[in-house]
Amino acid sequence: MRSILLYTLGLLMLVFASVACKNEKSKAAITQVDLDGTDWEFYMIEQNGKKETTPPGLKISMAFLEGKLTGKASCNTYSAPYILEDGKLSVGEVMATEKFCDNENWDARFVSAIKKASDCEVVGELLKVNCKDGIKLHFEKKTIASIAEIQTQETAEIAELLTLFPNLTPNQMHLFSILKGTNIDAYPFVGETVEFNMFNLFDPTSASTFQQAYQLGAYAIGRLGDLYVLRVPGYVGSNSITLYRLKGGKLMMEMPLALASNDPSVNIQQDSWLKDLNNDGKIEVIVRQISAPQGGIAQDVLRVFVQAADGTFQPSLGTKLKPEDYPMANLQ
């Protein structure tokens, strides 16, 4: 009887050891490849043994995609590079919009914790991120229903944003980016001011820029197909015009079109046009720049950017244009 009991205990120990090894192996098997393309919803924070679930209606998400963490921390969007090696999670600089959120500071708590991430564990549909200061962040994998709900909300926000962009034919898209003094009313633009709550529909870098210039507004200028143009006024007359493309429900920066400043030591004026120069259905970007450094020789340059096969814009050295066909707007 005793031998049978010892034999049974031995078997149980082997089973427990086998399960433990499998669990350890499972944890060690979590790689960046495993997480890539997954999307999670944050539901609980744990600190000093105390667990606190998110309040009803609060939505904080985190997605792993091609070496980046992206998501929405309640009313702000964020993005950060990450590396997961040997079970160790390292998060780089977190870029986030800075909209004020009436949510008892959950945004700031979440972003602050994720910056200090040290490792993570996945068990079924649950993800736990352990942070260096002892905080633990708990997530559950998004279901088809939760993803559909978020997409419906974002679609409605995008639809509201797009009402600010008039549809313009290519030859009507003439932009000029110079402001005399700081008189915003002197801005000749088409469109309306992009409101603060819409900044999260742009890539994090742009959203942060808009937030800094919010007192002067971020103006929608025009739309051509999936291309959108925004003017962002700066201080002391400086301002920029940037081309965006709608990708995955967000407006992503494609390329800067013009940057102007009324600094007398620089004295740059740039105008931009969007045209289909050869009637092939593809838009070209034309930028004319006149720079006259103080005490230097004025330069007048006309550049053309054409769409490559992958849709990006590349400089075209072979396209020749006449400066007189692209007169600079005079705001004096």
Residue 180 lies in a domain: yes
What are the helix and strand counts (H, E) for the chain? 5, 19
How many alpha carbons fall within 13 Å on the CB side of residue 229? 27
Per DSSP, 261 falls in state B
Q: Is the pLDDT of residue 272 over 60?
A: yes
Best mean pLDDT range from 17-31, 123-137, 176-190: 123-137
For residue 226, tell me if it sits in a domain.
Answer: yes
CB 171 within 8 A of CB 74: no
- Domain containing 75 equals 31-142
How many whole angstroms separate alpha carbon 69 and alpha carbon 83?
10
Residues 170 and 137 placed together within one structural domain of the fold:
no
- At residue 115 the predicted structure's pLDDT band, cuts being 50, 70 and 90, is very high
d(CA 300, CA 291): 7
| DSSP-H helix ranges across the chain | 2-28, 32-35, 106-114, 144-162, 204-212
pLDDT at 2: 43
Residues 118 and 240 in one domain: no
The rounded percent of the chain whose pLDDT value lies above 70 is: 70
Residue 235 within any structural domain of the chain: yes
pLDDT band of 170, cuts 50, 70, 90: low
321 and 173 part of one domain = yes
Whether the Cβ atoms of residue 176 and residue 188 lie closer than 8 Å to each other: yes
For residue 135, pLDDT beyond 50:
yes
CATH of the domain at 68: 2.40.128.270
Q: Kindly tell me the burial class for residue 165, based on how many C-beta atoms sit within 10 Å of its own C-beta (0-12, 13-18, 19 or more).
A: buried
Alpha-carbon gap, residue 77 to 201, rounded angstroms: 8
Q: Could you tell me if residue 281 is inside a domain?
A: yes
Q: pLDDT digits over 278-301, tens only?
A: 888 788 888 888 776 666 777 788
User: Bigger pLDDT: 218 or 265?
Assistant: 218
* Integer Cα distance of 301 and 193 in angstroms: 31
Residue 180 confidence class, pLDDT cut points 50, 70, 90? low
Q: In terms of domains, do 133 and 189 share one?
A: no
pLDDT higher than 60, residue 18: no
d(Cα 104, Cα 181) in Å, to the nearest integer? 40
Considering the domain architecture, whether residues 118 and 258 belong to the same structural domain is answered as no
The pairing of beta strand 39-47 with beta strand 136-141: antiparallel
Helix runs in 127-198, H state only = 144-162
Q: Which of 128, 161, 153, 131 is nearest to 59 (CA)?
A: 153
Residues 49 and 193 in one domain: no
As a whole number of angstroms, the distance between CA 33 and CA 37 comes to: 9
In a domain, 210, yes or no: yes
Average pLDDT value for residue range 181-197: 66
236 pLDDT band, cuts 50/70/90, is low
The domain boundary residue, chosen from 97, 127, 142:
142
Same domain assignment for residues 317 and 179: yes
> Tokens for 190?
């088409």
* pLDDT grade for 5, boundaries at 50, 70 and 90: very low
Same domain, 316 and 266: yes
Which of 88, 108, 142 terminates a domain? The answer is 142
pLDDT at residue 208 tops 80: no
Is residue 151 very low, low, confident or very high in pLDDT (cuts 50, 70, 90)? Answer: low
Residues 90 and 228 grouped into a single domain: no
Q: Using the 3D structure, point to which of 142, 175, 198 is the last residue of a domain.
A: 142
pLDDT greater than 90 at residue 164: no
Q: Per the structure, how many domains does the chain have?
A: 2
Give the chain's mean pLDDT. Answer: 75
Q: 113 with 260, same domain?
A: no
In a domain, 9, yes or no: no
Same domain? 174 vs 304: yes
Domain membership flag for residue 148: no
Backbone phi and psi for residue 259, each to the nearest 5 degrees, phi listed first: -140, 125
Q: Rounded to two decimals, what is the model's pTM? A: 0.53
User: Alpha-carbon dihedral of residues 170, 172, 178, 182, nearest 10 degrees?
Assistant: -120
262 shares a domain with 188:
yes
Classify residue 108: in a domain, yes or no. Answer: yes
Question: Residue with structure tokens 């068990």?
Answer: 123
What are the angstrom distances between the C-alpha of 241 and each of 98, 162, 236, 275?
22, 17, 16, 16
